[in-house]
């Protein structure tokens, strides 16, 4: 399976932007980069995904490096509700099109 | 947005009981559904993948006779934990996506999970 590497945890202040990095140096050309987050005691929630170009939606932005070996999830203004575990996942033919979760990054947001 | 409904939210039952968990996609046709389990302070572990009308594909180490999966329609999948024992206690989460068997470009949507406690 194509692997991703994320920091174990990050901290942010409320109302400030947050940049969550993800390294995926073994990504293949057909792998999509997906981000999900999981709040305590809930199932994961889809955040955003992309292939090559940067993507924006109402929740976040996804910046993908030109060589696709890394990406960054950007939360433009962190709120306390954004405190969660964020998972960066590759989905494509190298992983059997399955969504396999790593350890993710636990984001702490300070008021 | 897309919604996946999972029921029940939590179950407490005696050892030896079989427990059925339902997963429904409410506003889209879920070609593929997934079942995960999650232990405290750990990440999600994929148990099996099912495509509508086909037998589920189980991940290595997951007993297919223990965890029965049925995906009879494009909106419903069920997971039955047969003869449950305390070690089966966990947080079970279903997930669904549209877009065909491969669907790398499709978001995956998750239920809110079922907390199973076996006494």
Report the distance separating Cα B52 and Cα B74, nearest Å: 6
Q: Which of B108, B112, B113 is the best substitution to test chain A (most A C-beta atoms within 10 A)?
A: B108
Q: What is the pLDDT of residues A62-92, one digit of tens each?
A: 999 999 999 999 999 999 999 999 999 998 8
Question: What are A48-58's pLDDT values in tens digits?
Answer: 999 999 999 99
Chain A positions in Cβ-Cβ contact with residue B107 (cut-off 8 Å): 34, 46, 49
pLDDT digits (tens, 9 = 90+) for B38-93: 999 999 999 999 888 788 999 999 999 999 999 888 899 999 999 999 999 999 99
Out of A26-30, A52-56, A90-94, B21-25, least confident range: A90-94
Q: What is the pLDDT of residue B103?
A: 72
Confidence of residue B101 (pLDDT cuts 50, 70, 90): low
**pLDDT at residue number B74:** 87
Tokens of A44: 């994961």
pLDDT higher than threshold 70 for residue A2: no
Q: Do A97 and B101 touch (CB under 8 A)?
A: yes
Out of A44, A85, A97, name the one closest to residue B102 (CB).
A97
Paired with B74 in beta bridges are none
Residues of B in contact with A87 (CB under 8 A): 43
For residue A3, count other CB atoms closer than 10 A to its CB. 13
Which residues of chain A have a CB within 8 Å of the CB of B94? 43
Q: Do A34 and B107 touch (CB under 8 A)?
A: yes
- pLDDT at position B18, please? 97
């Amino acid at each position: 399976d194509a692997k991703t590497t994320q920091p174990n945890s990050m901290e942010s202040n409320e109302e400030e932007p947050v940049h969550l990095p993800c390294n995926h140096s073994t990504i293949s050309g057909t792998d999509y980069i997906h981000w999900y987050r999981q709040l305590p005691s809930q199932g994961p929630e889809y955040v955003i995904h992309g292939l090559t170009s940067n993507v924006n939606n109402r929740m976040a932005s996804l910046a993908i490096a030109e060589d696709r070996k890394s990406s960054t999830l950007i939360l433009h203004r962190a709120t306390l509700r954004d405190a969660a575990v964020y998972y960066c996942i590759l989905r494509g033919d190298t992983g059997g099109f399955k969504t396999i979760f790593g350890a993710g990054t636990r984001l702490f947001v300070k008021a | 947005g897309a919604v996946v409904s999972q029921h029940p939210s939590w179950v407490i039952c005696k050892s030896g009981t079989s427990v059925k968990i339902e997963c429904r996609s409410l506003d889209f046709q879920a070609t593929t559904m997934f079942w995960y389990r999650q232990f405290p302070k750990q990440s999600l572990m994929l148990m099996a993948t099912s495509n509508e009308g086909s037998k589920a594909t189980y991940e290595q180490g997951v007993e297919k006779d223990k965890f029965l999966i049925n995906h009879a329609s494009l909106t419903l999948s069920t997971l039955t934990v047969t003869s449950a024992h305390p070690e089966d206690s966990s947080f079970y989460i279903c997930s669904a996506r549209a877009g065909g068997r491969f669907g790398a470009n499709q978001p995956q949507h998750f239920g809110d999970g079922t907390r199973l406690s076996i006494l």
